[in-house]
Every structure is written in C-alpha cells, then in structure tokens.
Amino acid sequence: MKIFSGSANEPLAEKIAKNMNLTISARELFVFPDGERRVQIQERVVDEDCVVVQPTATPVDENYMELFFLCDGLKRSGARSVTLVIPYLGYQRQDHVFRTGEAVSLEVVIKFLEEVGIDRVIAFDFHSVKIPELFKIPVDHLSAMPLFAEVIKKRGFLTEDTVLVSPDMGGIRRVKILSELLDGMTYAAIEKERDLITGKVEARGIEGKTARRAIIVDDMISSGSTMIKAAELLISKGTEEVYVFATHAIFSADAPELLEASKIAEVYVTDTVYIPKDKYFAKLNVLSVGEMIAREIEKITQ
Ligand code: R5P
C-alpha cells in the first residue's frame, strides 16, 4: 500500500499515513510559468494498491487537475489499484439543472474521475445522499456525524434544553442521523431561501421546537451566510446559545471574520479541507477525520 498526496491537504494525508504506520510516497508537483501542471510519481508502484489524498476545495480547478494527473501517473506506472480519498468533492452542489441552460458540473466531474482510472472513492458528507449512486465505481461515503456526536456528549449538550437544527430543509436527513447517534435528540429545521442569481440567503422560519441552546449542523460553511442567518433567526425566537457544526470548512471570502463577529458561540468543523492559518479564528474548533479515513482504507483493502 502506498499513499500519495496532492497539494490540497498534505497535513491530512500525513495524519492518515501516520495512523496506518506508513509514510507519504514521493511525487513531484511542478507548475510551469503559464500555469500548466506536471506531475511525476517518483516511486515504483507496479502491482501496488495506491491511495491518493486530495480534497477539491479552493483552488477547485487546480486541485482537480493535480488529482487527475496523479491518478493517471499511477495507472501508467503500473499501480494495481487507485483509491481516491477526496474528503471534499468540489462541484457537488451543482447536482442538477437549477436554471435552463446550466451544466450539471457534478456529473462532468464524476465522468472525469471515472475516466482517469480511479477504482474506488472515499469521501465525506456529500451535499446530497444520492451522490454515491451517480458513480459507476464503488464509493465509501463517510460522515463526520459520529465525531460531532462525541463532542456534543463531551460538552454536556445532550440535555432537554438543547435542540439540533438543520439550517435548511435539504439537511434534515443529516440532522436525523446525528439525532439517532444522540439517543433521539430533538431536532428542527429552518426554511431557507437562497437567491439563485445573487446567492443571498434568507432564513424565513423554523419547523419544529426551539430550545435554550441550539446546535446547527450542516455539510459545509462557505460564505457563512447560512449559519449566521439561521443563528440570528433562532436568537430572535428566544434561543440563548448557538453552536454550529459543519463537516467542510470552505471558508470563502470573509467567512471567518463574519463568523467570529456573529452571535454564534463556537464553530466546529473538520479537516476534510485544509484551513490556512489566516483563516483560523477564536471561536473555531477543528476535529480530524484522519483516523477515520485510515480505518476505512484498512477495512476496504483487507
Ligand atoms: C447548501 O445547501 C449547503 O448545505 C450549505 O448550507 C451551503 O453551501 C453553505 O453555504 P454558505 O456558507 O455560503 O451559506
């Protein structure tokens, strides 16, 4: 077994390798002056089962190209199999035609991943539970919900005065899963509306009961608007403490500053996406998915 990492999240790849008593294998990632990339596998991989770790958050397209080239390099060098660990799958939100004439970006990306010879995919908390069905190759869809459940218990939030909240109707299934891990903890959902052109988010109302403490759970935080609007609505309805949990810390634009300045008490995310130092803020807590991925790789390659 050999583990290769792209440049998108090397600390996570190191954690996975460490948990498997392996070291990261050598490759060269070179960028030409015009922005084109060259990738070279620098270890013998003939008849080896190989793993590539590369989430595809910002810079999305560059990370995808690097990933395609790494997988192609491995296949051409004789790798027996290539398992792609793509903790965050870029373009997954464009999973259907929202407005006439749009491309279904997710389907395009899946075609490329399959065409480049990947044998298996390991990913985390897809935007939609239907995404694994779109792949022709096997997909192991992991979730950060067990990690979140552990923290919620440790923090003493498993109480009558706490409610889980999905910030939109699409996320209810995820919150239900977390509720099941927490002895059937009560949950509610927010009616969210996003303007398809401007991307502006409105939290219109709450379906279900509110409580003194709310824990909002989502797949990702990008601009931060969804979480902040949901927290504001909950507080306007009498909630006193709001914690947020999201698997993928996309943190685009000034999301860290907005979250820090918001009424949210603390923000929990995972390391599926690399968070640069300048995007850290006081309220932020980062949980690692490294061990979970290592155990999954071991399970599927036994
Ligand atoms: C959308 O439905 C997703 O589940 C997230 O709620 C959304 O992508 C978060 O984006 P933002 O932080 O920009 O509101």
Q: How far is CA 58 from CA 61, 144, 251, 276, in A?
A: 8, 20, 9, 11
Q: For residue 79, with 0-12 CB atoms within 10 Å meaning exposed, 13-18 middle and 19 or more buried, which class applies?
A: buried
Buried b vs exposed e over 12-48: b needs ≥16 C-beta within 10 Å?
Answer: bbbbbbebbeeebbebeeeeeeeeeeebebeeebeeb
Please list every protein residue whose CB sits less than 6 Å from any atom of ligand 1.
127, 167-168, 170-171, 201, 218-226
Tell me the best of 91, 195, 218 to mutate to test the pocket of ligand 1, counting ligand atoms within 8 Å of each CB and taking the most. Answer: 218
**CA atoms of 215 and 283, how far apart (whole Å):** 14
Q: How far is CA 185 from CA 124, 166, 189, 218, 245, in A?
A: 23, 13, 13, 16, 15
Q: How far is CA 36 from CA 43, 63, 70, 181, 234, in A?
A: 23, 12, 14, 46, 47
Query: What is residue 179's predicted lDDT score, i.e. its pLDDT?
Result: 98
- Pairing verdict, β 213-221 and 162-166: parallel
Give, using CA atoms, the residue closest to atom 13 of ligand 1.
Answer: 223
Q: Which amino acid is at 166?
A: S
Token pair 């960028």 is found at: 31
Tell me the best of 221, 227, 262 to mutate to test the pocket of ligand 1, counting ligand atoms within 8 Å of each CB and taking the most. Answer: 221
User: What distance in angstroms lies between residue 60's CA and the mean position of ligand 1's atoms?
Assistant: 16
Q: Which ligand 1 atom lies nearest to the CA of residue 170?
A: 2
Q: Which amino acid is at 102?
A: E
Active site residues: 192
Query: What is residue 196's predicted lDDT score, i.e. its pLDDT?
Result: 86
Q: Which ligand 1 atom lies nearest to the CA of residue 250?
A: 12
Token pair 């155990």 is found at: 295
Residue 132 structure tokens: 């694994």
User: What distance in angstroms lies between residue 210's CA and the mean position of ligand 1's atoms?
Assistant: 21
212-256 tens-digit pLDDT? 999 999 999 999 999 999 999 999 999 999 999 999 999 999 999
Tell me the best of 174, 220, 225 to mutate to test the pocket of ligand 1, counting ligand atoms within 8 Å of each CB and taking the most. Answer: 220
Q: Are 290 and 16 in contact (CB under 8 A)?
A: yes
User: What distance in angstroms lies between residue 219's CA and the mean position of ligand 1's atoms?
Assistant: 8
CA-nearest of 228, 283, 235, 231 to 260 is 283
Name the stretches of the chain with pLDDT < 50.
none
Query: What is residue 269's predicted lDDT score, i.e. its pLDDT?
Result: 99
pTM: 0.96
